[in-house]
Structure 1
């Protein structure tokens, strides 16, 4: 009996007569603003460099969590490996800084 009631309720909710008919009700939520540009618009190249740095540091955090778990068991070897990993990331950050990707002009 409950299965029949649930199916009838789902059928009523899924029927086209219950769908919104006006455009403001059917439009996707965009944070309260109207869509003024197409989704495939071009972005400035500075966003790509910042995105690459963001991804690099996200990957750093992804590797540091398991490292923190095995650090006690591995000892100094794990510390040296993480130091080398952070040094490589630091070189990337310094290079980006020298190239001026943090300046928003």
Structure 2
């Protein structure tokens, strides 16, 4: 139980330090609220019109392609480093995974997303 007490004391001291830092920041910060500071501002452009805009479906397909390649890299590189120790079952599973990735790429190709390459 003594070890848990030490851990609890460290957690409490850490939280007190965090809250103290936030309180010190709040106490030392000087703010002047003006209408210009309270206005919404994003990417260097003043807001005009409504805050809702339609996005072309092509951008969702680009995101889909990114996910395909990111997931592919996340699983293939570590798998390739330990391939010798995991066996034949892992090889079969990786081919199933690559089949799914290929289906995703074929879908993107048929939708015309890859026409810019």
Give me the TM-score of the superposition, normalised by structure 1: 0.59
Alignment match, 1:68 = 80
Deviates more, 1:45-54 or 1:23-32: 23-32
Gaps of 5+ in 1: none
Deviates more, 1:40-49 or 1:58-67: 58-67
Alignment match, 2:27 = 12
Deviates more, 1:58-67 or 1:23-32: 23-32
Deviates more, 1:58-67 or 1:44-53: 58-67
Gaps of 5+ in 2: 1-16
Match of 1:93, SS state, is: helix
Deviates more, 1:41-50 or 1:28-37: 28-37
What is the rounded CA distance, in whole Å, between the counterparts of 1:51 and 1:8 in structure 2? 41
Alignment match, 2:106 = 94
Maintained 8 Å contact 1:20/1:26: no
Alignment match, 1:35 = 47
Alignment match, 1:50 = 62
RMSD (Å), alpha carbons: 3.5
> Would you say how many aligned residue pairs link Structure 1 and Structure 2?
98
Alignment match, 2:91 = 79
Shift of 1:89: 0.9
Maintained 8 Å contact 2:62/2:113: yes
Shift of 1:98: 2.2
Deviates more, 1:86-95 or 1:29-38: 29-38
Deviates more, 1:26-35 or 1:65-74: 26-35
